[in-house]
Structure 1
């Protein structure tokens, strides 16, 4: 089974592209979705996070206060590294489980939607890499609208990732999500054709 990485900058539209691929029956495993699942209420992952950072990061219902924890670790590399040391092994284990299931179903290709593909130096794990790209101004605007973050929060999140220009240079396919929805649909059509070619090369 071809293993294709899907990544990009924060708020470049990667999740939208993932959803569109699923609508075209392309199997997609979502690292963010798994990262939320491994720290759900009552999970060993949540217990590990709270042991490391304290119960101040729990909401009243016992779930993780993701925004508060994000504010705490971003801009502090040693704290971010500690959090990633807890989460990344759990995410990798669940990803391997889901990948084996897809291989057992004889899928020709699967896409792994992973925000920190380049940041975790995972390039060699993939048969191909897709990067979803937009301008930094669009990233800021989308984060402001979507997350209601402060300017400082936005800048810290963008700065914590490798610049999108580097990711574009390293990609096998760049999808430009820098215009309107009609343009995005055309870009996704172009991506679907590329994915079909990847299947033929299996």
Structure 2
């Protein structure tokens, strides 16, 4: 598998294992929710860049790359609607998900309604599952009979909305709140003025100057971090 580094939400990096031939991602425990919004956009662009690459079927059974135990199939509900499936390690080493299921999880792909599936069935009859690649006769089934993935499409409007959502989240994450910082500086100056007045009046002889300075620096540092 190919290793790719992405920025972690709090600090450091998330190193994902990607397999472009089988179109899969291995997430160590909780890595899927630790990637920054900008990292998700970067990963989507990477998936998009390899969309036309030669594809090979997934191994059966799938095994954990850490302990080699058989992975257990799971199904979950995406934050923005729809269901996605994955395969997880029972020893909690992580989970394997396909590119398509990752895009469903992050809102780039929407599931088809029953009416849309019926309309599509009249035109094409059978499709390949975007989760495992197995054929699905949509005239009879509304989900993959092999991995139970729901039928979904890459909707341009869904992609635009998801990209806009992650771009806005990344801007909020990386932009400092100038107004809050300004308020903190004003408040700090007021504290300094109050200190000078009280010092002149001889009421805080026992107060260490260093304490106020450290508190002020810590306040601004906390604002910058948030």
TM range (shorter): under 0.3
The alignment's TM-score, normalised by the length of structure 1, stands at 0.25
Relative contact order, CA 8 A, sep 6+: which one is greater? 1
Q: Larger % of helix: which?
A: 1
Q: Max radius of gyration: which structure?
A: 2
> TM-score, normalization: structure 2?
0.23
Name the structure where strand makes up a greater proportion of residues: 2
